Structure 1
Amino acid sequence: MVKVIIDDIEVEVEPGTTILNAARKIGGDVVPPAMCYYSKLQGSGGKCRTCLVEVAAGSTADPRPMPKLVASCSTPVMDGMIVKNKTSERVYDNRAAVTEFLLINHPLDCPICDQAGECHLQDLGFEHGKEGTRYEEKRRTFDPIDIGDKIKLHMNRCILCYRCVYVANQLTDKRVHGIMHRGDHAEISTYIEQAIDNDFSGNVIDVCPVGALTDKTFRFKSRVWFLKPMEASCECTKCAGKAVVWMFGDEIYRVTGRKDKYGEIEDIDGKTAWICNECRFDKKDKSQWNIEGPRVINRHSVIAQNQYLVDERLESKKLTGK
């Protein structure tokens, strides 16, 4: 085990652990944001630059500071390393600049975007964004396209995190979409807009940190904060059948994978609980699911805030009788 200090908090981790995962072991505000890193997808990370941190001391053997900020998602810790995240003014200024860069081409779609309320870019913009913009040039624009009969792609919202491409490479039977072109013209697309039709293609929706990939069966039906997330299970031969059903009354509006506080699909029985398209898109009848109970949303989100507010009101009612 090696010892590393992150924001004045010491933690012991295994050799080879990245700074980001060491910070996640501590938890709380110490954890840098990550828009492209996804622990369940090999090779992810190093694209968005939001997780950059300052290394004030490289190791016990070589205590010199690293001259530049480093990507915490791909930099392994060293014994005696001292890392600054929330305690570094350089990191804060850099994160504000990265946020501004990500928002250069991102449209103001929050009022009509299905990702609103659980969007990582919204959280990043709220914490590090600026009131105005210095950008005067025209934004890049793409026409929305259908990739399959259940998935809508809005490239205008895409931040090129590559998560969906890694899902296509590592989870599905065949890769049918990826990055086309380079630079400002780069875009997620399919070969001559061919449909994505494999059994696990819907997981690209779960891994997308913004509203670039959305569920066509849920689009414009409701805001997520009006729905009740419930843990549910079903008998399925393709996947584990463990999911979260989002309900309004007795009606299921959408089905998603079970995510942790970092927005990543949880491991169940030692395996990542990806769900198949049949569970996600076709099972919208309550009788098809065994409803296990309310899902606690513990990541920074509108839904979590509403949950806490409800709990506070109930507690206040118990104490005051009003």
Structure 2
Amino acid sequence: MAEEIKKEAPPKMKVTIDNISVEVDPGTTILQAARLIGGDVTPPAMCFYTPLKGSGGKCRTCLVEVSKGSEKDPRPMPKLVASCRTGVMDGMEVKSVTSPRVLDARAGVVEFLLLNHPLDCPICDQAGECHLQDLSYEHGKEGTRYEFKRRTFKKHNLGQYIQLHMTRCILCYRCVFTADQVTNKRSHGVLDRGDHAEIATYIEKSLDNDFIGNVIDVCPVGALTDKTFRFKNRVWFTKPEDAHRDCDKCCGKVTLWKRGDEVLRVTARKDQWGEIMNTEEGKTGWICNECRFEKKDVKDWVIEGPTKVARHSVIGANHYEVLDKPEETVAKVMGGRQPKLLLDIHNISDVNDPSVDLSKIKGPATGAVFNKTKLIQEKENNN
């Protein structure tokens, strides 16, 4: 009889969020319960990351109001609580977007996060898929009251693959947890305290672990970006496609970000909350550096199909559902003749050089890559 009791599943708990009820398992947090409901009810989260143990409770963007603690203790909680760290109780009632206190608190948190954040979205590679952009648009205010000089940091070299912009960092600690839990060795962390706290390595070490590239995927802002994709394209001009390959290091299931037939970037697959997706076999979705940085050819992958993109995302502006390419009809109309350019800007433009394949550039697409005079001199010196 005792063994039968142990095998019985624990009873479900009923929680109501913004007048919508849902039944969850014991140990579920308010944020996880809200995600089961979905929509505007779900609080934003900038530091919580489901696959990372210990994440959450730092950014305070997921604050909610608990108007009823439980059926046994119906008293409301006096202060707003972080939904990512607060477990549900049976009969709990929560207010998210229906609470003026919550909306005002989130606006204040967004304003605080943007105090020292530079307005360099036009040149940031994270623009278009930045969680801070979405957060400021949905929960922020029109302007800032901050009138002082913004903090700046000394540049740190993290190696050939990862670019660090500490001025954009919001200290969510995701990259630290990722390096601590996914890789064999963590070389970076948070140095100093208070206003001087920064993500960096001690004595300028480079991040060269086989799985260290995953810190790029978990970063919610443009603090950690991919050097191999840097300045090559805007994310809303690329087409994401699901692909896989046989890899002896990782799951090998990725998202290819293509422009035409060029693979400009490779990332791990993510769910609707921007978190790493596990595979159907139950393997973790983290990918190795070889898949991320070195496999930039379509021949290296088995294409599965277009990635599903949320309609509200700017990436879905030119989204497609099939991989069929449109048929070129100009030659048919002109009797088989190919069109000619009225003005060929390639002769005078160093940037729009068709001979330079962006996907083959190992590093950032800077002016030095397109400087024809410099390239010719280098070839002559090498010969």
* TM-score past 0.5 threshold: yes
Task: Say which of 179, 186, 204 aligns to 1:193.
Answer: 204
* Residue 16 of structure 2 is aligned to residue 13 of structure 1: no
TM-score under structure 2 normalisation? Answer: 0.79
Q: How far does residue 288 in structure 1 lie from its aligned partner after superposition?
A: 0.5
Partner of 2:304: 292
Partner secondary structure for residue 299 of structure 2: helix
Partner secondary structure for residue 271 of structure 1: coil
Task: Say which of 210, 217, 238 aligns to 1:206.
Answer: 217
* Residue 122 of structure 2 is aligned to residue 111 of structure 1: yes
Whole-angstrom distance in 2 between the partners of 1:299 and 1:305: 8
Whole-angstrom distance in 1 between the partners of 2:45 and 2:317: 21
Task: Say which of 248, 271, 276 aligns to 1:237.
Answer: 248
TM-score under structure 1 normalisation? Answer: 0.94
Instruction: Give the residue type in structure 2 aligned to 1:98.
Output: V
Whole-angstrom distance in 2 between the partners of 1:168 and 1:40: 13
Task: Kindly indicate whether the alpha-carbon contact (under 8 Å) linking 2:189 and 2:201 is maintained by their aligned counterparts in 1.
Answer: yes
Assess, with a 3 A threshold, how the Cα gap between structure 1 residues 249 and 240 changes in structure 2: closer, same or farther: same
> What do residues 201-249 of structure 1 show as CA deviations (whole Å, max 9, x unaligned)?
0000000000000000000000000000000001111001000000011
* Residue 151 of structure 2 is aligned to residue 140 of structure 1: yes
Q: How far does residue 29 in structure 1 lie from its aligned partner after superposition?
A: 1.1
Assess, with a 3 A threshold, how the Cα gap between structure 1 residues 147 and 131 changes in structure 2: closer, same or farther: same
Partner of 1:318: none
* Residue 273 of structure 2 is aligned to residue 258 of structure 1: no
Task: Say which of 285, 296, 300 aligns to 1:273.
Answer: 285
* Residue 65 of structure 2 is aligned to residue 54 of structure 1: yes
Q: How far does residue 300 in structure 1 lie from its aligned partner after superposition?
A: 4.5
Task: Kindly indicate whether the alpha-carbon contact (under 8 Å) linking 2:111 and 2:141 is maintained by their aligned counterparts in 1.
Answer: yes
Q: How far does residue 16 in structure 1 lie from its aligned partner after superposition?
A: 0.9
Instruction: Give the residue type in structure 2 aligned to 1:284.
Output: K
Instruction: Give the residue type in structure 1 aligned to 2:148.
Output: E
Assess, with a 3 A threshold, how the Cα gap between structure 1 residues 209 and 151 changes in structure 2: closer, same or farther: same
* Residue 95 of structure 2 is aligned to residue 84 of structure 1: yes
Whole-angstrom distance in 1 between the partners of 2:312 and 2:191: 33
Whole-angstrom distance in 2 between the partners of 1:92 and 1:299: 24
User: Which blocks of at least 5 consecutive residues in structure 1 are unaligned?
Assistant: 312-322
In terms of Rg, which structure is larger? 2
Relative contact order: is structure 1 or structure 2 higher (C-alpha 8 Å, sep ≥ 6)? Answer: 1
Whole-angstrom distance in 1 between the partners of 2:78 and 2:316: 38
Name the % identity: 70
Q: How far does residue 70 in structure 1 lie from its aligned partner after superposition?
A: 0.1
Q: How far does residue 131 in structure 1 lie from its aligned partner after superposition?
A: 2.1
Partner secondary structure for residue 11 of structure 1: strand
Partner of 1:64: 75
Instruction: Give the residue type in structure 2 aligned to 1:280.
Output: R
Instruction: Give the residue type in structure 2 aligned to 1:192.
Output: I
Partner of 1:316: none
Partner secondary structure for residue 134 of structure 2: helix
Partner of 2:367: none
Partner secondary structure for residue 267 of structure 1: coil
User: Which blocks of at least 5 consecutive residues in structure 2 are unaligned?
Assistant: 1-11, 322-383
Task: Kindly indicate whether the alpha-carbon contact (under 8 Å) linking 2:236 and 2:317 is maintained by their aligned counterparts in 1.
Answer: no
Instruction: Give the residue type in structure 2 aligned to 1:303.
Output: I
Task: Kindly indicate whether the alpha-carbon contact (under 8 Å) linking 1:59 and 1:79 is maintained by their aligned counterparts in 2.
Answer: yes
> What do residues 74-104 of structure 1 show as CA deviations (whole Å, max 9, x unaligned)?
0000000000001111000000000000000
Q: How far does residue 306 in structure 1 lie from its aligned partner after superposition?
A: 4.1
Instruction: Give the strand-richer structure, 1 or 2.
Output: 1
Whole-angstrom distance in 2 between the partners of 1:276 and 1:84: 41
Task: Kindly indicate whether the alpha-carbon contact (under 8 Å) linking 2:46 and 2:61 is maintained by their aligned counterparts in 1.
Answer: yes
Whole-angstrom distance in 1 between the partners of 2:26 and 2:226: 40
Whole-angstrom distance in 2 between the partners of 1:177 and 1:170: 13
Partner secondary structure for residue 291 of structure 1: strand
Task: Kindly indicate whether the alpha-carbon contact (under 8 Å) linking 1:262 and 1:299 is maintained by their aligned counterparts in 2.
Answer: no
Task: Kindly indicate whether the alpha-carbon contact (under 8 Å) linking 1:231 and 1:292 is maintained by their aligned counterparts in 2.
Answer: yes
Q: How far does residue 138 in structure 1 lie from its aligned partner after superposition?
A: 1.1
Instruction: Give the residue type in structure 2 aligned to 1:199.
Output: D
> What do residues 285-322 of structure 1 show as CA deviations (whole Å, max 9, x unaligned)?
11001111100123752113443xx68xxxxxxxxxxx
Give the alignment's Cα RMSD to 1 decimal.
1.1
